[in-house]
Amino acid sequence: MALVTGGGSGIGASIVWHLAQQESRVAFVDVDDNASNDLVSEIERAGGVRPLYLSCDLRDIDDLKAAVERVESDLGPVRVLVNNAARDDRHDIDSVTPDYWDERMAVNLRHQFFATQAVRHGMADAGGGSIINMGSIVWMVGMGGMTAYATAKSAVEGLTRSLADELGPENIRVNSVAPGWIMTQRQIDLWLTPEGEEKLMQFQTLKRKLMPEEVARVVLFLAADDSSACTNQTYVVDGGWL
């Protein structure tokens, strides 16, 4: 049974879609009810297993814990956790306040730890599982204009390595995936310009746009027994940018 955070759109929606098409039991949480309900309907029309959608604001840890309890009650212990939810909002240094900084950490980092904490015992009692934390290459390439996001995503790698060491004896694998610039609808609508695409083609070894399903397939590999010996690693999916 798999739980995906931020599964209503973008990379998260592609992960939910691919899991459902493989007839996995899937639950996902998000704050966008319209997009999430549309995704559930689309998956059913395509012949996939209907996923369980729960509205949840991951900034509220009590809300997150309640969602995990509901998922476990309805579908059983979580054996795969994909900590995907994030927002790569841009900002300049002078505009950042302490409250904004804390909110960015809550959106992009904090929930990954507490979701892991919430599923950990059920996963261990069921024999183990796989946790996949979604990172980013933004901090690796030193991208400006999004310092709070880059800081949170750099911390995902430290979180992943620490959890992998602590949870390994319980047969729980912990890895992270660091995407490059993936062409979700949000990226296309907000950030993709002809100038930006030209620079992207200069950076990437693969001279094409990368799509959400290319990240989802890596996540599915890490979720499956095919990757049973893989833990404590970060897998970069960036078309050869780094």
Q: Is 173 left (phi over 0), alpha (psi -120 to 50) or beta?
A: beta
Residue 52, classed as helix, strand or coil, is strand
- 41 by Cβ neighbours in 10 Å (0-12 / 13-18 / 19+) ranks as exposed
CA angle 54, 36, 186 (to 5 degrees): 130
| Nearest partner of 1 among 25, 29, 28, judged by Cα | 25
149 flagged as catalytic: yes
CA distances from 36 to 40, 54, 197, 207, 224 (A): 6, 9, 29, 32, 24
Please state, in angstroms and rounded to a whole number, the distance separating the CA atoms of residues 72 and 122.
Answer: 8
Quick check: 29 and 56 in contact, CB under 8 A? yes
CB atoms within 10 A of CB 135: 29
The count of residues in the chain is: 242
Phi first, then psi, for residue 143 (nearest 5°) are -75, 130
| Nearest partner of 66 among 33, 1, 112, 114, judged by Cα | 114
Which of 53, 100, 149, 235 is the catalytic position? 149
What sign results for the dihedral spanned by CA atoms 163, 164, 165, 171? positive
Read off the tokens for 3. 């739980």
Positions marked catalytic: 149
